[in-house]
Structure 1
Amino acid sequence: MTITRDRGRIFNGIPAEWLFLIIALIFGFLFILIIPPMTAPDEIGHFAKSYAFSQGKIVPYFLESTENPFKTWNQYGFSLPSSISELNQNVIGIGYNPSEKFDYSSLIATNFTNFNNVFIPLGGQLNYSFFQYVPQILTISISKLFASSMLSVYYATRIVNFLSSVFILFLAVKWTRFAKWGFVLLALNPMFLLLATSTSGDAFTNAISFLFVAILSTLISDEEMDKKKLYFSFGLMIMMIQMKPTLIMFGLLYFLIPNRKFSIWSKCLYGISILGSSLTIYYLWGKLFPSQDIMYIDFASPSEQIRFLLEKPLDFVTVIQNTIDEHGEFLFHSYTGKFGLLNRNIPFWIVLTYYLFVVFAVFIREYNQLIISKIMRLISVVFLFGYVLLTFIALYQIWSPLGSSIIQGLQGRYFIPSGAFALLAITPNKDVIAKKLAVPIVMSGVVLFLGYVTYFLANSYGF
C-alpha cells in the first residue's frame, strides 16, 4: 500500500472522491435491488409529481370529497396511469407493518401495464418545483417512450436519480477544500443513499447542497476568483431556494469569500439580486397552487401559527425546548437509522457509532485544505442555528395544531442538506490524526456500517 501525501491519495493511489464513488455504487445498487418500490419517505408523491411534470402537467386539480367536503389533504393531485397507484398499493402493507415481508415475485412487468388514468394524490409534494425532479423528468420522458410497463419506467428513474446524485456528490468531494473525508462519510449516510436510490426529489436537493458548499469553499480558498464558478453558484443558490426555502441560509457562505476577491459592495449587490429573483420566482410559482392554509387545513393553521410566532416568540422558544427534550434522540436516530415509514430501525447505538466515524473523519486533513478562521466557524454555527430554527418554524407552521407544545412532523432527514456546511465549525487547521492510520479506520468503519444496514434491510424486507 502506498500513500502519496501531496495528492491526498490512499489505497494505492485512489483519491477520496473515487473511493466514495466505488462504495456508493456498490451499496447503492444493493439498495436498489433490496428496497421494494415506493417505500422511501413520501415516494408516491415524488414519483407522481415527476411523472406529471414529464407530461407537461403543473397545476393539480381538486378531487371533491363526499365524506368530508372540508378535507384537503390528498385531495389535490393529477390524472396519471393507474399502474403508478398499483405499484404503491403493492407495498402498502409492508410500509405500515415492519414485521411483514415483501413478495419480490410480485415485481413482474406485466403486473404494471395499466396506463389508464386515475386520480393520484400528491400529499406534501403539491407545490414542489421542477428543479428537484430534473433527473426524474428526463428519465421518465425518455423511458416511457420505449417501456410497456410502469415497473421499467420506475426502476429506470431510480437508477438515473441515484447516478445523478452520486455524480454530483463525487464532484462535491473532489472540489471541497475542507473536511473532504467528512464529506465522504456524510454522503455515505444510508438515509442519503436510500433517498438517492428512490425516485424522491430530496436526493437531488441534498446533493446540490453539498456541491454548493464545495464550490464556495474553492471560491473562498483559491487565490484567484473563478468567475464561472461564482456565476454557477448563483444559479445553484436560486435553484436551492426553489427546492427548499430553508436553504436560503447557505447564502452566508458568500460572506466568507475574502473582500479582496469579492468586495462588500459586490456581495450586497449580487446578494440582493439573487435574493430578490429567488423570492420572486418562489412567490410566482406558489401562486399556482392552493395556499398553505388550504393545503394543511387538516393538520394546522399556518397563518395563525405565524401570527403566534410573531406575537409570542418566547413561547415558541419553550416549544423548541420541549421538542428537543421529547424528540431529540428521535431526530438523531432518523437522520440516518430509521427506514421505511420510520418503523424499520437499526439500534441507536450503531447510529451513534456512525456519528463518531463522521467526527473522526473530519480530523483527517488534505494537502490543500482551507485554513478555517474563527469567523468561518462562527458563520457555520450561525448557519446551523438558523437552518435548524427555520426548519423548526416550517414544520410547526404546517404540521402542528395551533397551541401545540411541541413541533410535530420533524424528521432527522430534513437536516441532511446542512451537514457539509456545519462541518466548518469543527474542522481543524492542523494535523490531528495520522492520515496513514485514520483513513483505513474510517473507511473500514463506514463499509462495515453500510454492510450492517444492507443486511438489516435485506432481512427486514425478506430479500
Structure 2
Amino acid sequence: MKKRSVSLGLITGILCLAAAAAWHSLDVRAGIHETGASWQMGQYVFLTMLVVALTTVCGYFLIEKNIFSSENACPRTVTLCSLPKLAVLMAGGLGILYLFVLPPLAAPDEISHYVSAYRLSSQMTGQPQRDRYGRVLLRAQDTWVEDLDGDFVYEPDEDGNLQVTAESREQAVKLGETLDESTYELFHTLGVNGQYAPERTAEIQSMGAYVSSTYPPVTTTPLAYVPQAIGISLARILGLNTVCLLYFGRLCNLIFFVIMLYLSMKRIPFGKEVLLGVAVLPMTLHLAASFSYDVMILSCMFLLTAVCLDLAYEKETVRVRDVVLLAVLAAVAGPCKMVYAPILGLCLLIPMRKFGKVQNWFISAFAVGIAWGMAMYLVNSQVITTYATATEADSYVEWAEEAGFSISLLIHNPVLLVRMFYQTLLWNAKDMHITMIGGWLGNLDQVLDVPYLAVWAFTLCLIGLALKIPGEQIRMTGRHRVWIGFLCAACAGLTMLSMLIAWTPVSSRVILGVQGRYFLPFLPVLLLALKNHTVVLTKDKNRSILYLMCCLNGYALVRLFSIVCIRL
C-alpha cells in the first residue's frame, strides 16, 4: 500500500503540471493569434516536455528511490552520497530553464552586472576595458543591447572611442527593460549567428572601434564577476554573436552556483534539504541564471554557513585549510555587500577546544577578520568614508531629486530610525516576502508574477523542511539558536539601514528599495535555527516537499512563458 501511495504522489504531480501547461497553452495560442509567431507554440511544447521530464526524474529519485529517507538502513551515508548530486540535477536543470524563459538582462540590475562582467572580460582577453572617463568600452556589435531603437547619437572622444550624447541617452530602450513578446521574437530571429541591425553596426564601426557604455560598472570586487567574464571571454574568442555572448556569461554564472551548491551540500552536516529548498526558490534560480553578482554572494554565504556548521557540530578539530577557506570566502563575498558582515559571527559557534590551543583560536579569528577587513578597505573604503562623513546637507537621493537621510541625522534622532524600521516592516512585509520567494521576477516586474498562493506554498515548504522529523537529533543548543537569530536580524537591519541612507528620500514614510532577495544569503541558517522539539512532523515528508517545490517551479516556468507570449 505504501508503494502505491508514493507512486500516486509522483503521478499526481506530473498530471497537475500537464494540466497547468495545457491551460496556459491557451494564452500562448492567443498571443500567436495576435502576432502570427507560430514558432512560440513549438517552443512552449518543448519547454513543457523538459519541465515534465525534469520533474519526473527528480520525483523518481526523491520518492521512488527514497534516497535520503530516515527509514533507510544507513540514512547518513545515503544522504551524503546522493542528495548533493540530486541538488545538481534540480538546481542545474531548473536554472537552465529559467535562463531561457527569462532572457538576458531581464533580472534586477542585470545590465549593470553585465557591463561589469564585460569590463573584466576585456581585461582577461587583453582588450581595452575603459575610456579616459572610466566608462566601460564595448565592441560596436554589442552596443545594441543598450539601444534597441537606434536612438543613440555618437561623438568620438580624444582617443577615438565613441561617446553617447546625453540628449540621446535619455530616450533609449535597453534590452530586457520590459520583458514582452518582442523580446522572445528578437532572440528567435537572431539565433546564434544573427547580428542585430547590421547596417547600424557597420556605421558605428566606421566611426570607431569601441563604444563607451552608458551604464556604470558596479563598484565591488572583480572576483564577483569571474564566472560571467569567463563566459563572455569564451564567446568573444570564438567570434560568436552578442546573443551567444549573453547566454555564455549567464550559463557560466549558473554553473558556478551549482558547483558551489554541491560543495555546500557535501559539507553541511545537517539541514541539507533546507539548503536545497532555498536554492530552488524561483528568485534564487532566477538570480543564479543571470549576470548578477548575487550568485557570488549566495554561493559564498551558503558554503561559509556549511563550513561553520560542520566545524561546530561535526568535525573534531579545525584544520588550517578550514581557516583559509573561511578567510577566502569572507574576503570574496564581503566587499560585494557589507551588510552580510554579521554572518561571520557563525564562526563563533565553533568551540575553542577544536583549535587545540587558545592562541590558535585567536590567530584563526584574526586571519578571517583581517581577510574581510582588508578586502573591505581595498574595495569599499571610499564608499564607507562617504557615508560615514556625510552631513545632512550632503545627503541627496539623486533618483528622487531631494534630500536623503544621513548617519548623523539618524544618530541625533534615534526615534526617527525606529519609526522608519517599524513602518517599513508594517507596510512592506508582504512585498519583501514576495520578492524573497520570487513572486515578482524579471526586474521585479509585477506582470511576470508567480501567484501569491504559490509563493505561500513555497514558504510552507521551507517551513516544513525546517521542522524536526522523527528520529532526528537537534544539534543546535538554545543559546546557539538565539545567536543565529541575532546575526540574521543584524544582517536584515543593516540591509534596511543601507537602503535608508542610500536610496530613501526624507519625504518617504518607509524605507525604499528593500527587497526580499537580500535576505536569501542567511535564510538557510535562519530556518535551521527554527528547528525545535515543540513543533515537529509526525512523518518524514522532506522528499515529498522537495518534489512539490520542483512541481511548483515547473508551474512557474510554463506560466511565465505564457505571460510573455501574450504581453504585446
Shorter-chain TM-score tier: 0.7 to 0.9
Partner of 2:103: 36
Counterpart position of 1:351: 455
Do the aligned residues in 1 keep the contact of 2:397 with 2:505 (CA within 8 Å)?
no
Instruction: Please tell me whether the aligned partners of residues 131 and 242 of structure 1 are also in contact (alpha carbons under 8 angstroms).
Output: no
How do 1:222-371 residues align onto structure 2 when only pairs under 5 Å count?
Answer: 222-262=315-355, 266-286=360-380, 297-299=397-399, 305-335=406-436, 336-343=438-445, 344-363=448-467, 371=475
Match of 1:102 among 172, 180, 184: 184
Q: Judging changes above 3 Å, is the alpha-carbon distance between structure 1 residues 117 and 28 closer, same or farther for their aligned structure 2 residues?
A: same
CA 1:153/1:346 → structure 2, altered by over 3 Å: closer, same or farther? same
Q: How much does 1:365 deviate?
A: 5.6
Residues 354 and 446, structure 1, Cα contact 8 Å, conserved in 2: yes
* Cα distance in 1, alignment partners of residues 351 and 107 from structure 2: 41
Contact 2:433–2:516 (Cα < 8 Å) also in 1: yes
- Cα offset, 1:207, TM superposition: 1.4
The secondary structure found in structure 2 opposite 1:110 is coil
Report the CA distance shift for 1:393/1:253 in structure 2 as closer, same or farther (over 3 A): same
The count of corresponding residues between Structure 1 and Structure 2 is 448
Q: Call closer, same or farther: CA 1:310–1:27 in 2, change over 3 Å.
A: same
Distance verdict in 2 for CA 1:166–1:418, change over 3 Å: same
CA distance in 2, matches of 1:393, 1:102: 38
Single out whichever of 343-352 and 402-411 deviates more from structure 2: 402-411
CA contact (8 A) 1:364 1:432 kept: yes
Residues 347-426 of structure 1: matches in 2 within 5 Å? 347-363=451-467, 371-402=475-506, 404-426=508-530
Superposed CA deviations along residues 246-286 of structure 1, whole A, max 9, x for unmatched, are 12111111111012113665544443443344333323323
Match among 80, 93, 98 for residue 138 of structure 2: 80
* Conserved? CA contact 1:186–1:419, under 8 Å: yes
SS of 1:148's partner is coil
Let me know the Cα RMSD of the aligned residues: 3.3
Change (3 A) 1:99 1:328: farther
Larger radius of gyration: 2
Q: Deviations over 1:200-242 (max 9, x none)?
A: 2111211111111001111111222233122211111121211
Q: Match of 1:458?
A: 561
Deviation string for 1:289-340 (max 9, x for gaps)? 8956799751478995111222222210100111112211000001122111
Structure 2 gap segments, 5+ residues each: 1-63, 67-71, 149-172
State the 1:409 CA deviation: 1.0
Secondary structure of 2:318 counterpart: coil
Deviates more, 1:113-122 or 1:303-312: 113-122
Amino acid at match of 2:75: R
State the one-letter code of the partner of 1:253.
L
Taking the aligned partners of 1:243 and 1:5, their CA distance within structure 2 comes to 44
Q: Hey, what's the Cα distance between the residues in 2 that align with 1:430 and 1:77? A: 57
Q: Classify 1:322/1:105 alpha carbon distance in 2 versus 1 (closer, same or farther; 3 Å).
A: same
Q: Is the 8 A contact 2:90 2:550 kept in 1?
A: yes
1:93–1:100 contact (8 Å) kept in structure 2 = no
| Amino acid paired to 1:331 | M
1:85–1:334 CA distance, 2 compared to 1 (3 A): farther
State whether residues 327 and 368 of structure 2, in contact with CA within 8 Å, keep that contact through their aligned partners in structure 1.
yes
Of the three residues 551, 564, 567, the one matched with 1:448 is: 551
Structure-2 separation of matches of 1:172 and 1:138: 23
Q: Percent identity?
A: 21
Cα offset, 1:141, TM superposition: 2.9
Q: Return the alpha-carbon distance in structure 2 between the equivalents of residues 297 and 347 of structure 1.
A: 33
Once the two structures are TM-superposed, the CA of residue 243 in structure 1 deviates from its matched residue by 1.8
Corresponding residue for residue 67 of structure 1: none
Structure 2 residue aligned with 1:69 = none
Q: Counterpart of 1:96 in structure 2: which amino acid?
A: T
Cα distance in 2 for partners of 1:176, 1:58 equals 42
1:459 & 1:281 partners in 2: Cα distance?
44
| CA deviation map 1:81-100 (0-9, x unaligned) | 24444235458476336687
| Residue 218 (structure 2) aligned to one of 101, 126, 144 | 126
For normalisation by structure 2, the TM-score amounts to 0.71
- Please give the secondary structure, in 1, of the residue aligned with 2:290: coil
Structure-1 residue corresponding to 2:235: 143
CA contact (8 A) 2:404 2:506 kept: no
8 Å contact kept, 2:468–2:533 = no
Question: Using a 3 Å threshold, how does the CA distance of structure 1 residues 179 and 161 change in structure 2: closer, same or farther?
Answer: same
Which residue pairs with 1:53 in the alignment? 120
Cα-to-partner distance string for 1:429-460 (whole Å, 9 max, x where unaligned): 7994366x513321221111101111122112
Which residue identity is paired with 1:458?
F
- Classify 1:346/1:227 alpha carbon distance in 2 versus 1 (closer, same or farther; 3 Å): same
Q: Report the CA distance between 1:140 and its aligned residue.
A: 2.5
Deviations 1:146-175 (A, max 9, x none): 123222222111111111101101111222
